[in-house]
Amino acid sequence: MPLLRRLRVQNHIDEISLPPGLVESFNLQSEVSIEGSLESIIQKFWVSNGELIFVGSIASVVRLIAPFLNSKDKDPAVLVLDSNGINIVPLVGTHKSGADQIAADLAADLGGSAIYTSDSKNHGRLALDSFGYGWGWIRQGNSNDWTQLMISQSRNSKIEVLQEKGSLLWNQGIGIDHTEIRFKSNLKRESNFIYIGSKKVKECSWHPPTLWLGIGCERLTSKSLINKGIQESLCKAGLAKESIAGISTIDLKEDEPALLEIANNENWPIRFYTAKKLSEVLVPNPSKVVESEIGTPSVAESSAILASGLKGKLVLEKQIFHAKNNEKGAVTVAIAESLDPFAPKRGELHLVGAGPGDLSLLTHDARLALSKSVVWVGYEMYLDLLEPLRRP
């Protein structure tokens, strides 16, 4: 229980479950937030991108989870800890679901050791099938293709990369030295290939969030119509939904039900602009009708351009969609692309005090923050002192 309490206090876990016999014997009802048989609890939380941390024997855990195992793409992160939190084993979902990273974080916080068995960890390689999550990117592509790519990386084969968006810093860290990367200038695939950008492609791809959807719609337009407008616009432009950073529109839509619901469901931020601000933007398709009604000749195009920032550009001019069958209203969609990705909800910022210099005096909180952070920024001397803690 001391270990479980600590994991909960440090927000490593949300809920605690214990076998019913233990709960009753030690009067721990107030500590347990989920009850039932272990099998029923595992079934409840066995979801893609979920996390399950077991305290106990690996043999017992393997027997418990065996009936639930599905695939690398669908299984949650499963970790096993001994009761002292000294040995931390990422068992399932090591890459896509993040079990390896969770193990590193737990080891940093608990002062234990993460026991890795994956090829990339044991050879100090940057895991190409999971590194993008740390940058706020979303992965797409066939699971078998990703598996073959990782096998090729383990054999030291050349990996070709076409990167159009997102930070290039990933290619400068430790761990990439053990992989032969060749940057390309086109989508022509010659061998093992990764695409990084906003285009919708069949190949293994990472999508930084750089696209802004400018949306204008009639009052009480159907959600299905707005979704259809977004889908068809992305398809026409050949762009990936996974690269959407957010929605932009006029402030008159701050209470538009369908628009707010879509943004909430997709976890997209919405940026609202006044008619005056929108009217100052030069757009390719201004409308006098729209201007006479709301005071600006454009909503979709101008809001998309504004949201994409100073060096953003319109990549799809406005598309108009009208209601059919049981739908209501009309919607206009335009797409602009920003120079830099925007995904604040997918990241964290930590301010770390490195202490007097001896790593043994570094707090566990500081070690945890460093473990969770993809980029360290600081005075060179202090970074040199922390170098033994840096991982691929």
pLDDT in tens, 22-37: 777 778 788 888 877 8
20: confidence class by pLDDT, cuts 50, 70, 90: confident
pLDDT band at 185 (very low <50, low <70, confident <90, very high): confident
Residues 191-248: pLDDT tens digits? 799 999 999 999 999 999 999 999 999 999 999 999 999 999 999 999 999 999 999 9
pLDDT for 82: 95
Among 202, 208, 72, which residue's Cα sits nearest to residue 133?
208
Which letter does DSSP use for residue 299 in this model?
S
pLDDT tens digits, residue range 268-279? Answer: 999 999 999 999
HSE-up (13 A, CA, CB side) for residue 53? 23
| Angle at the Cα of 184 from the Cα atoms of 179 and 186, rounded to 5 degrees | 145
Model pLDDT for residues 83-137, shown as the tens digit of each residue: 999 999 999 999 989 999 999 999 999 999 999 998 888 888 899 999 999 999 9
Predicted pLDDT of residue 238? 97
**Nearest 5°: CA angle at 260, between 259 and 265?**
100
Q: Which helix (H) or strand (E) holds 195?
A: strand 192-196
Span 250-268, pLDDT tens digits: 999 999 999 999 999 999 9
Mean pLDDT of 372-381: 93
- pLDDT confidence of residue 245: 98
Per-residue confidence (pLDDT) for residue 175, from 0 to 100: 82
Mean pLDDT of 298-313: 96
Q: What is the pTM of this model?
A: 0.89
pLDDT, tens only, 135-182: 999 999 998 999 999 999 999 999 999 999 999 999 988 888 888 888
* Percent of the chain's residues with pLDDT above 70: 100
Predicted pLDDT of residue 139: 96
| Residue 89 phi, psi (nearest 5) | -115, 115
Q: What is the pLDDT of residue 128?
A: 94
Residue 61: pLDDT band (50, 70, 90) is: very high
Max mean pLDDT among 156-160, 304-308, 325-329, 352-356 falls in 304-308
Choose from 46-50, 239-243, 375-379 the range with maximum mean pLDDT.
239-243
Mean pLDDT, residues 312-327 taken together? 95
**Overall average pLDDT of the 349-355 stretch:** 91
93-96: long-range contacts (C-beta < 8 A, 24 or more apart)? 94/118, 94/121, 95/120, 95/127, 95/129, 95/130, 96/72, 96/129, 96/130, 96/139
**pLDDT at 296 > cutoff 90:** yes
Q: What is the pLDDT of residue 387?
A: 92
Contact 104/371 with Cβ under 8 angstroms? Answer: yes
Give Cβ neighbours of residue 329 (< 8 Å, ≥ 6 apart): 217, 218, 219, 220, 221, 222, 225, 323
CA 211 to chain centre: 15
pLDDT for position 188: 77
Per-residue pLDDT, averaged over 7-33, amounts to 84
